[in-house]
Homo-oligomer: A and B are copies of this chain.
Amino acid sequence: MTRSIDVAVVAGDGIGPEVTAEGLKVLDAVLAGSGTTVRTTPFDLGAARWHRTGETLPDADLEAIRGHDAILLGAVGDPGVPSGVLERGLLLKLRFALDHYVNLRPSRLFPGVATPLAAPGEVDFVVVREGTEGPYVGNGGAIRVGTPHEVANEVSVNTAFGVERVVRDAFARATARPRKQLTLVHKHNVLVHAGHLWRRTVEAVGADFPDVTVDYVHVDAAMIYLVTNPSRFDVIVTDNLFGDIVTDLAAAITGGIGLAASGNVNPDRTTPSMFEPVHGSAPDIAGQGKADPTAAVLSVALMLEHLGLADEARRIETAVAADLAARGTAVRSTAEVGDALAAAV
């Protein structure tokens, strides 16, 4: 039986195209001879497109992307684009339009990887970050802008519908893991309305997952645990903004954003999910073959897992783990790392 997967590729800007090329190289290699073939369609979106046409994500592109099985994104942005334009007009627009309500960010400290922590212990947890609500909804505004009487508000919107579905997904992931632990990270002593909705939802959904142990940690306390005892976490579920903050710290303690992969997932599979490294376009090192493609390659593994190709995903992760364990101090180019991983899978 042959199967074909259709991948929309938004390579983007800066190091985006470089790391994406390696991700696709490894994807081809892992599927070679498997009967599954890949078809990729490039989408010219990001800073370059915006500079040329002023467009971020035209309807036609969005509709074309919808027809694919998954999206691979490299990185978008450059210093010439005003802050917020591509974030809200492209990246968040994709996440919202395609209802990527699970922003999945695994954090694993692979053997051999340098970490800023003196005694990290075993680190292997996954953050399930809500992707379509919270302060990311764009529901803010300002009056009297530029005057001494300006008032600028940002509204975090949280719904029972939105919280319930992501919490349920997090429980399902926790129940499938050996330790079966779920930690809710929020700030319900201050954000009482949103916080209590999250808390009640975790309590209610937990009844359907009696084998999962649940606890709660304030977001500020989570900062402390992440550097003093990250092993305590198995699955973290949290809102969009706290998730943004927690996952960058999680990436930092597990070797940096150069290794951190993420999936913007629609578990209902009504739209293509999107897989991207956590890092940005890093214009300072773009075009020099210096970028580490590992996060892009691991994002491909998350994509394969989501598409039901779990064996292939495992093979990539195993190859990455071996490559990281064997890394010495020798500096390899982006393509050299990609070649090594492609050969290993």
Answer whether residue A256 sits at the interface, using C-beta atoms and an 8 A cutoff. yes
Given contact pairs A152-B158, A153-B158, A156-B153, A219 touches B192 in the complex (Cβ within 8 A): no
Question: Which residues 224-256 of A have a CB within 8 angstroms of B?
Answer: 224, 226-228, 241, 244-245, 247-249, 251-253, 256
A83: which B residues are within 8 A, CB to CB? 188-189, 192, 195
Interface size class of A (residues with CB under 8 A): 35 or more
Given contact pairs A223-B249, A249-B249, A193 touches B159 in the complex (Cβ within 8 A): no
Binary contact track A136-148/B, C-beta < 8 Å → 1, others 0: 1000111011111
| Residues A160 and B149 in contact, CB atoms below 8 Å apart | yes
Binary contact track A186-218/B, C-beta < 8 Å → 1, others 0: 011111111111001000000000000000000
Min CB–CB distance A266 → chain B (angstroms): 20
Q: How many copies does the complex hold?
A: 2
> Given B84, B155, B228, B248, which contacts A116 in the complex, CB threshold below 8 Å?
B228
Min CB–CB distance A50 → chain B (angstroms): 14
A188: which B residues are within 8 A, CB to CB? 83-84
Residues of A at under 8 Å CB distance from B? 83-84, 87-88, 92, 115-119, 135-136, 140-142, 144-161, 164, 187-197, 200, 219-221, 223-224, 226-228, 241, 244-245, 247-249, 251-253, 256-257
- Could you give 29 example pairs across A and B, Cβ below 8 Å? A115-B118, A116-B117, A116-B227, A116-B228, A117-B118, A118-B118, A135-B135, A135-B191, A136-B190, A140-B156, A147-B160, A148-B164, A149-B159, A151-B158, A151-B160, A152-B158, A152-B197, A153-B194, A154-B191, A155-B155, A190-B244, A220-B244, A220-B245, A223-B248, A224-B256, A224-B257, A227-B249, A228-B252, A228-B256
**Given A83-B189, A152-B194, A154-B156, 14 other A-B residues pairs in contact with their CB atoms under 8 A:** A84-B189, A87-B190, A117-B118, A118-B118, A135-B135, A136-B190, A145-B197, A148-B164, A154-B158, A154-B191, A154-B193, A223-B223, A223-B252, A227-B253
